[in-house]
Chains A and B, each alone.
Chain A
């Protein structure tokens, strides 16, 4: 079976962009609501939010929840 090239590229990107101060899942969950509101309002992101955004690029499970949350928040605007 041919390997999905996108999967290889995604894995390489995730590995190469790994950072020492990476946020973990509980911390991401803690701040996820704040991040959603900031994105919807277009406000600037501070360092914590940038770290959260980075976590979402490395954690498809948190990203899936965040995308659903963002959709829900935007739908209720």
Chain B
């Protein structure tokens, strides 16, 4: 496989000819190898999947060559695109038959239990934990919007990928991230209103 610097990668892939063919072959080899390692812990990924992901990613790389800024190695940039292609498809497969209702189910009635403390914490930590848990419960139940609650349960509690939640809520991943960001800011503000510092709170939950 030929060694190429960033400019050579872009130049070779941009112009038709034998150099492009070689570069395409090398790029696919690199992407397949990288994806094989990146996805090795996911049992439902086949070699055929990896080949397909690499192929799709190669097309996306060719279509986005003019956006490559050279801040990273070309192969890292291309690998980023390949990983994104793979995860988008794997997440879609995993969640395609799951409705929003199912995504937002909690195992019992309370998102945050009424009286949770860490039994391994000391008395002072447990007192702070009770306060913080109560604040979280109150804010989630009384101050967050229904969409924020749904997003919190689906994405944060049930681990559903943001893109999948967003699709079912009729929005996009980034808008959902901002929704959750606003929810976190509100929760943070209420926690700090109690006079505790961020470090105090983190220390109380550090057991």
Contact = CB atoms under 8 A, between A and B. Distances in A.
Scoring B35, B157, B181 by chain A CB atoms within 10 A of each residue's CB, the highest score goes to B181
Nearest to A22: B181
A72 B84 contact: no
Interface in B103-147: 107-108, 112-113, 116, 118, 132-133, 136
A7 B136 CA distance: 13
Majority secondary structure, B binding face: helix
A29 B79 CA distance: 12
Nearest to A12: B205
Nearest to A69: B83
A13 B201 CA distance: 8
Interface residues of A, number: 39
B38 A71 contact: yes
Nearest to A2: B113
17 contacts: A7-B157, A9-B118, A11-B156, A15-B136, A15-B187, A17-B198, A17-B202, A18-B184, A18-B185, A33-B76, A58-B181, A64-B87, A68-B38, A71-B37, A72-B83, A73-B34, A76-B37
Interface of B: 30, 33-35, 37-39, 71-73, 75-77, 79-80, 82-84, 86-87, 107-108, 112-113, 116, 118, 132-133, 136, 155-157, 159, 161-163, 173-174, 177-178, 181, 184-185, 187-188, 191, 198, 201-202, 205-206
